[in-house]
Amino acid sequence: MPRTAAPVSPTAGPVPGGPRMRVDAVELVRIAMPLVSPFRTSFGVQTDRDVLLVHLLGDGGEGWGECVAMSEPGYSSEYTEAAQQVIEGHLLPRILAPDRLTAAEVEALMAPVRGHRMAKAALEMAWLDLELRAAGRSLADYLGAVRAEVDCGVSVGMTDTSEQLLETVRGYLEAGYRRIKLKIEPGTDVDRVRAVRERFGPDVLLQVDANAAYSLEDADHLARLDEFGLVLIEQPLPEEQLLGHAKLARRLATPICLDESITSAAVAAEAIEMGACRIVNIKAGRVGGYLEARRIHDVCAARAVPVWCGGMLETGIGRAANVALAALPNFTLPGDTSASDRYFHQDITEPFVLHDGRLRVPTGPGLGVEVQRDVVDSLTTRSTVVRRR
Ligand code: SMG
Ligand code: MG
């Protein structure tokens, strides 16, 4: 069962950041990154990542951001190509028009464009990197981090057989991961969870993620998972069904954690008040950026709802920002912040390496990682430059 987080006082007020920055050119770089192994979820299989990188140039410095959208609209309605289009056609014209801006002002200028949170988050991340590098300040410090390293879990994709799953989980536990998350879908769910629990024992922190594969009619079936002492069940129902999750929660002993449903701090507050979730997965990309992610952290902290940092198979750029976020006080459960080698043979920054089941929070200015331009270039499938008019 999950540790119940002690109430944590919310981080107060708007964060003072760095100076206003002037951006002269924006490079949108698309890279193709093969995954070390296919990642199967209830909505599809990923074999490589089509990643959109945002590279800002201005004021003698640079800033990098990463868009977490996948190539297909399976996890959410956003997808990489659409993110690039909305950035080029609607977001950049708004944020390149004024002379100088902070990341917080960039966020406000993008707000009139509805949705497209992953696209907005990528621009905000790059702007934060640019601004905080100029200020000589780390993102972790800016966000209010309280830890130098964060506990890491790993998200395990579905396999053809139970034996393959057990073998994969064994490898991750040997590598030191502090929590295992199994992707589930109707049909194999109970058997696979039982197999893992029986093989590795009651002490392993174990949780499951359905990516919206169930309906409320499956409540009795999902209640069969209660006997396995799971930390949580993540997003059992479709993202729009907050009330459905609240009804389901009353029929399960396992705490419900929401992922896809939580698109803003306002939705998080409503979901908690309705009883739709007892735990929240925070992904900055899903909610429009790190500033909104921090607000969700605060909303949850004020309500004694623990949070943890989700993942979207990020490169070292997005991982650096996620690890900084996961160092905030109310991130009391291990996140899907795994080491670079769980995803890629070669990352585009220095790799994130697991030490005793933890990743170190970068301390350098901005995101605190250096992008290896030669590696990016070798993976580039398309590059577009947008200049200030
Ligand atoms: O980054 O380790 C990671 C992936 C974590 O399972 C993960 N993400 O629903 O939480 C989730 C999924 C969304 C992405 S699946 C391609
Ligand atoms: Mg999820």
Structure letter (DSSP) for residue 264: S
Residue nearest to atom 9 of ligand 1 (CA): 211
Q: Atom of ligand 1 at shortest distance to CA of 181?
A: 6
Closest CA to 363 of 108, 138, 89: 138
Distance 182 CA to ligand 2 centre (A): 10
Q: How far is the CA of 236 from the centre of ligand 2 (A)?
A: 9
Contact 215, 188 (CB under 8 A): no
Residues with CB under 6 A from ligand 1: 39, 41, 46, 70, 75, 155, 209, 211, 259, 310-313, 336, 338
> Which ligand sits closest to the CA of 43?
1
Return per-residue pLDDT of the chain as tens, 389 residues.
333 333 333 444 446 788 999 999 999 999 999 999 999 999 999 999 999 999 999 998 999 999 999 999 999 999 999 999 999 999 999 999 999 999 999 999 999 999 999 999 999 999 999 999 999 999 999 999 999 999 999 999 999 999 999 999 999 999 999 999 999 999 999 999 999 999 999 999 999 999 999 999 999 999 999 999 999 999 999 999 999 999 999 999 999 999 999 999 999 999 999 999 999 999 999 999 999 999 999 999 999 999 999 999 999 999 999 999 999 999 999 999 999 999 999 999 999 999 999 999 999 999 999 999 999 999 999 999 999 98
Tell me which residue has its CA closest to atom 6 in ligand 1: 155
Is 283 a residue of the active site?
Answer: yes
Q: Are 21 and 131 in contact (CB under 8 A)?
A: yes
> Nearest bound ligand to CA 285?
1
**What's the token pair of residue 65?**
């951001």
Q: Which atom of ligand 1 is nearest to the CA of 46?
A: 16
**DSSP E strands: which ranges in 201-341?**
206-209, 233-234, 256-258, 279-282, 307-309
Q: Any residues with CB less than 8 A from the CB of 97 and at least 6 apart, and which?
A: none
Under 8 Å between Cβ of 340 and 316: yes
378 CA to middle of ligand 2, Å? 31
Q: Ligand 1 centroid vs 39 CA: distance in angstroms? A: 9
Q: Are 54 and 64 in contact (CB under 8 A)?
A: yes
DSSP secondary structure string, 68-99?
A: ---SSTTSSS--HHHHHHHIIIIIHHHHHSSS
Q: What is the pLDDT of residues 315-362, one digit of tens each?
A: 999 999 999 999 999 999 999 999 999 999 999 999 999 999 999 999
Q: Please give the distance, rounded to the nearest whole angstrom, from the Cα atom of residue 95 to the centre of ligand 1.
A: 30
Contact 305, 8 (CB under 8 A): no
Q: For residue 311, which atom of ligand 1 is closest to its CA? A: 1
The pLDDT tens digits of the residues spanning 207-223 come to 999 999 999 999 999 99
Q: Which uninterrupted H or E stretch holds 129? A: helix 117-135
pTM (whole model) above 0.85: yes
**Distance of alpha carbon 388 from its chain centroid, rounded?**
30
Find the 233 Cα to ligand 2 centroid distance in Å: 10
Q: Residue 181 catalytic?
A: no
Ligand 1 pocket test target in 71, 209, 279 with most atoms within 8 Å of CB: 209
Q: Could you say which ligand is closest to the alpha carbon of residue 157? A: 1
The ligand that comes nearest to the alpha carbon of residue 258 is: 2
Residue nearest to atom 15 of ligand 1 (CA): 312
